Amino acid sequence: MKHYLSIHDADDLTQWVDEAIALKKEPKKYKSLGADKTICLLFFNNSLRTRLSTQKAAMNLGMDVMVMNFGNEGWALEYGDGTIMGEGKSEHIKEAAQVVSQYCDIVAIRAFAKLQDKIKDEAEEVLEGFTQYASIPVVNMESSVAHPLQALADAITLEENNAKPKPKVVLSWAPHPKALPHAVANSFVKMMKLQNAEFVITHPEGYELDSRITEGCRIEHNQKKALENADFVYVKNWSSYSDYGEVIHQNTDWMMTAEKLDKAKFMHCLPVRRNMVVEDAVLDGNQSLVIEQANNRTFSAQIVLKKILETIK
Amino acid sequence: MKHYLSIHDADDLTQWVDEAIALKKEPKKYKSLGADKTICLLFFNNSLRTRLSTQKAAMNLGMDVMVMNFGNEGWALEYGDGTIMGEGKSEHIKEAAQVVSQYCDIVAIRAFAKLQDKIKDEAEEVLEGFTQYASIPVVNMESSVAHPLQALADAITLEENNAKPKPKVVLSWAPHPKALPHAVANSFVKMMKLQNAEFVITHPEGYELDSRITEGCRIEHNQKKALENADFVYVKNWSSYSDYGEVIHQNTDWMMTAEKLDKAKFMHCLPVRRNMVVEDAVLDGNQSLVIEQANNRTFSAQIVLKKILETIK
Amino acid sequence: MKHYLSIHDADDLTQWVDEAIALKKEPKKYKSLGADKTICLLFFNNSLRTRLSTQKAAMNLGMDVMVMNFGNEGWALEYGDGTIMGEGKSEHIKEAAQVVSQYCDIVAIRAFAKLQDKIKDEAEEVLEGFTQYASIPVVNMESSVAHPLQALADAITLEENNAKPKPKVVLSWAPHPKALPHAVANSFVKMMKLQNAEFVITHPEGYELDSRITEGCRIEHNQKKALENADFVYVKNWSSYSDYGEVIHQNTDWMMTAEKLDKAKFMHCLPVRRNMVVEDAVLDGNQSLVIEQANNRTFSAQIVLKKILETIK
């Protein structure tokens, strides 16, 4: 069974990107592939882009779609093995995952990091629970530590906008008032390690990502130096990983500006806080790729669903 | 690009009403028109009729439908220009509107007046924000100051039930325990000004609607006098406009009764509070058109979507 | 008009079960039957299985589906006759039911017992209100006192797994931390009374179900004795009926275990609290039918919708 839990589940990233770009030109070409197939989108957290783009991708492939906000429409789930369920949880992941598998052919799940407990977040109890007990393919619509549909959309966007044999791509941390998860940054780094690019990660000291993920990447604490001659600048906030889930300092001087960006293209997964993460001039200027990235979410989801549908025909 | 933000966006009201009545007879006639087209319904407020009738209308036209409760499923939106987004708002309308435009062909939006600040409500930040930044047609499913899908359904209902060359139509204010917006009344008045009818607005002093909208209309503070020989009585509560958003007094004697109604047909947009806005005898009697009005919501939405689809084929 | 409010609305249970089993083999066989027909699923309470399986059943029959969480997406409903609606309720069931009837061909409703007031719960104001005022068929997706889609799925599961001319089936009460409604047990008892089986109900004293429903059934307070030589054990918690809605004592020794189950098949409607209602060993063992029961929810809903669609073609 073919899941899509990590960007590494794309067995040939270059080919998937090329196929996604082809799908973008003819979105309805495979409309018969998903006929009489159903996808269920389960949201444990809010969503705008993922909700709409994954629905759209499934409909482009002719699938039926069922959307469910698990938090307030379903039952609170228990994930522990052997628990005596005498408290607030009404249903165990073992049943929930098997039951959902009776009603659809693919299940897609969004469950964010809670940023309270690193070990618990990294255990990915929701996504891993569904993967372990479901009898159908599972798609990650952003879990505690990964957002591989976003990373695939980012790869598509890079491919469409790159003119160089080996572009320079910078992942630049940005200030944010709230503590945010590492999922987007993690998946972007993993994806970039598969690209033929000069890749640099820049952030203030204390905001190091999981070193198992960034292993082998150049990390530069001087933002200005990191940005020199960049072709693409991917901006994203994340909270501290070592001091888990903390906003250790505001570093408002790390906000991306048109001046810092220079001639590079600007990327962000959205939602983005204007004049906090990035100034208006960048988002409103013509070097911004953020809307195209959002558009490419449809085609990253569509290539993933197409690849899965081809295995369950 | 063709939006439907106001009843005035129906370029020929009489013809739209006639076409809607024809659609009602053959709802599936244009099922191929919306094939491979998607509408997204975004709700910032509760909805029963609008939610179901607009979905139904879109499905009658063969469209795919995505429904989203923006408030609790998406991200809190910022509308201000140049704001430093360091507070509770996660996404700016500029991005949200452009992003939604990537995933659908038409977007329909419901965002009520908050009745706290007249200037802010009249700025229609949600509807206007989407209209300004979206790259697709926008449909108003009730905004702060207008409910043109309701007014179009009302026009259809009047046309179906009128036997006179120039009927008398009365818009009669009704008591209500809560402060309600002016949107329904505003759009009804605008629509009536396009009709060949004797039109009278009646309400207690202090409940004057926006004079820019009622300009040229007969306003009568004596309800009994206003209702004399009426053919249609449209009942609706609204809060004070001058003392913005206030319930200035209860005026329970303004409730519509069978006796007051006499031989006129009764209209209301629903939901309606029984024995507060109107007595049971009226709603349960055969002069009430409220269910037919609700039914006509499907066809007012359907003619609007059909007109828009014809421009984006 | 054909409603499905109670298991007794299946006019020939054996035949419906056989037809459902046939549908399970060819779920899409009647996909043209529901073409251009719409079902609206209205949820006043949470749901996982019912939400997804009823959608799936409707889609298998080619219907369009509209799902609505009435509680937080619609308006608070008033059910009383003649009430002056000056408090929190915005809409009367009379209008709501008639209005929903304008937009769909079948309406399905979930509204649980509140367990505060027996007379009010037994009046089934939501389900009965819709049944009385809607002009379309109504399907019960679990009301205060009945869950006939579950009972029909249970009948299908029994039929598929039974090898004896007259099997022994035991309904065994189980401990639970929260007060739960009687709906599932009631409908299971009603269904079993239509079966050729040796049927026993077992529960601690004080947990007697409504005697009008259990009339003629063997009730045994000694769980061990009840379970002797059972072929199927259906486990379910319910709160007290006489001391209405109370958890009178915890009776944790009534939990189902593999030892107690012996060679019988285990059934439960789900969601189930592990190691409270039933121990892990049962759910994880191969005598458990719970996932198959959940799967059969699709086909119980599908046969119900098929029977209704055949009357409204």
Concatenate the DSSP letters of all residues of A41-71 into one string. EEESS--SHHHHHHHHHHHHTT-EEEEEEHH
Nearest CA in chain A to C65: A66
**pLDDT < 50 regions, chain B:** none
% of chain A residues with pLDDT over 90? 96
Instruction: Measure the CA angle with vertex C83, ends C82 and C89; round to 5°.
Output: 140
Residues 88-127 of B with CB under 8 A from A: 89-92, 94-96, 98-100, 102-104
Radius of gyration of chain B (CA): 19
Residues 164-223 of A with CB under 8 A from B: 177
Q: Is the peptide bond before C137 cis (omega within 30 degrees of 0)?
A: no
> Residue C117 phi/psi, 5° resolution?
-150, 110
Residue A233 burial (10 A CB sphere; 0-12, 13-18, 19+): buried
- Preferred mutation among C31, C52, C54 to probe A, highest tally of A CBs within 10 A: C52
CATH annotation of C7-147+297-312: 3.40.50.1370
User: Any chain C CB within 8 A of the CB of B251?
Assistant: no
Which residues does chain B have within 8 Å of residue A177's beta carbon, measured at their own beta carbons?
A: 86-87
Residue of A241, A247, A184, A194 lying closest to A217 (CA atoms): A194
Residue B110 among known ligand-binding residues: yes
Kindly list the partner chains of chain C, i.e. chains with 3 or more CB atom pairs below 8 Å: A, B
**pLDDT > 80? residue C151:** yes
**Alpha-carbon distance C151 to A214, whole Å?**
54
> Given this model, what pLDDT does residue B27 score?
98
**Alpha-carbon distance C277 to C253, whole Å?**
10
Report CA-CA distances (Å) from A152 to A50, A164, A209, A236.
13, 19, 20, 16
- Coil/strand/helix, residue B93: helix
% of chain C residues with pLDDT over 90? 96
> Given this model, what pLDDT does residue A87 score?
87
- Preferred mutation among A36, A72, A95 to probe C, highest tally of C CBs within 10 A: A95
Helix (H), strand (E) at residue A126: helix A125-133
Question: What is the fold of B149-293?
Answer: Rossmann fold (3.40.50)
User: Any chain B CB within 8 A of the CB of A272?
Assistant: yes
Nearest CA in chain C to B69: C73
Which residues does chain C have within 8 Å of residue A133's beta carbon, measured at their own beta carbons?
A: none
Residue of A190, A171, A105, A183 lying closest to A139 (CA atoms): A105
Mean pLDDT of the region A290-307: 98
Residue C49 among known ligand-binding residues: yes
Residues 289-308 of C with CB under 8 A from A: 290-291, 294-295, 297-298
> Given this model, what pLDDT does residue C72 score?
84
Which residue from C69, C280, C291 is facing A73, i.e. has the nearest CB? Answer: C69
Which residues does chain B have within 8 Å of residue C108's beta carbon, measured at their own beta carbons?
A: none
Which residues does chain C have within 8 Å of residue B43's beta carbon, measured at their own beta carbons?
A: 73
Residue C270 among known ligand-binding residues: yes
Which residue from A59, A177, A295 is facing B102, i.e. has the nearest CB? Answer: A295
Residue C211 among known ligand-binding residues: no
Helix (H), strand (E) at residue A235: strand A232-236
> Given this model, what pLDDT does residue B250 score?
86
- Cβ atoms within 10 Å, residue A146: 24
Residue A69, token pair as written in the block? 């906000």
Kindly list the partner chains of chain A, i.e. chains with 3 or more CB atom pairs below 8 Å: B, C
Calculated CA dihedral for residues A219, A225, A229, A233, nearest 10 degrees: 50
Under a CB-based contact definition with an 8 Å cutoff, are residues A122 and A145 in contact?
Answer: yes
Residue A116 among known ligand-binding residues: no
Mean pLDDT of the region A81-96: 94
User: Any chain A CB within 8 A of the CB of B151?
Assistant: no
Kindly list the strands in the beta sheet with B198-202, ordered across the sheet, starting from the edge strand earlier in the chain: B218-220, B198-202, B168-173, B232-236, B265-267
Write out pLDDT tens, residues A237-252.
999 999 999 999 889 9
Residues 6+ apart with CB under 8 A from B111: B44, B45, B124, B126, B127, B142, B143, B144
Residue B142 among known ligand-binding residues: yes
Residue C279 among known ligand-binding residues: no
Q: Strand ranges (DSSP E) for chain B?
A: 38-43, 64-69, 77-78, 91-92, 106-110, 138-140, 168-173, 198-202, 218-220, 232-236, 265-267
Report CA-CA distances (Å) from A32 to A18, A59, A306, C64, C245.
21, 10, 11, 19, 51
> Given this model, what pLDDT does residue C250 score?
86
Cβ <8 Å between A52 and B75: no
**pLDDT > 80? residue C1:** no
Q: Does domain A7-146+297-312 have CATH number 2.60.40.10?
A: no
> Given this model, what pLDDT does residue A162 score?
98
Residue B268 burial (10 A CB sphere; 0-12, 13-18, 19+): buried
Residue C77 burial (10 A CB sphere; 0-12, 13-18, 19+): buried
**pLDDT > 80? residue A229:** yes
Cβ <8 Å between B100 and A48: yes
Distance from CA of C39 to the nearest CA of B (A): 10
Residues 6+ apart with CB under 8 A from B67: B40, B41, B43, B51, B55
At A71, is the pLDDT very low, low, confident or very high (cuts 50, 70, 90)?
Answer: confident
Cβ <8 Å between B99 and A274: no
Nearest CA in chain A to C283: A95
**pLDDT > 80? residue C282:** yes
Cβ <8 Å between A103 and C56: yes
CATH annotation of C150-293: 3.40.50.1370
CATH annotation of B7-147+296-312: 3.40.50.1370
Q: In this structure, what DSSP letter does residue B1 have? A: -
Residue A50 among known ligand-binding residues: yes
Cβ <8 Å between C99 and B283: no
Q: In this structure, what DSSP letter does residue A134 have? A: -
- The string over B235-257, giving b where at least 16 C-beta atoms fall within 10 Å of a residue's C-beta and e elsewhere, is bbbbbbbeebbebeeebeebbbe
Distance from CA of C182 to the nearest CA of B (A): 30
Residue B181 among known ligand-binding residues: no
Kindly list the partner chains of chain B, i.e. chains with 3 or more CB atom pairs below 8 Å: A, C
**Alpha-carbon distance A9 to A187, whole Å?**
12
Instruction: Measure the CA angle with vertex A178, ends A174 and A181; round to 5°.
Output: 75
Q: Where are the domains of chain B?
A: 7-147+296-312, 149-293
Q: Is B7-147+296-312's fold the same as B149-293's?
A: yes
Could you report the predicted ipTM of this complex, rounded to two decimals?
A: 0.96
Task: State the amino acid at position B47 in one-letter form.
Answer: S
Instruction: Measure the CA angle with vertex B223, ends B218 and B229; round to 5°.
Output: 75
Residue B93, token pair as written in the block? 């309308």
A148-293, which class in CATH? alpha beta
Report CA-CA distances (Å) from C284 to A82, A114, B142, C199, C280.
11, 29, 52, 25, 6
> Residue C109 phi/psi, 5° resolution?
-135, 135
Cβ <8 Å between B100 and A52: yes
User: Any chain C CB within 8 A of the CB of B285?
Assistant: no
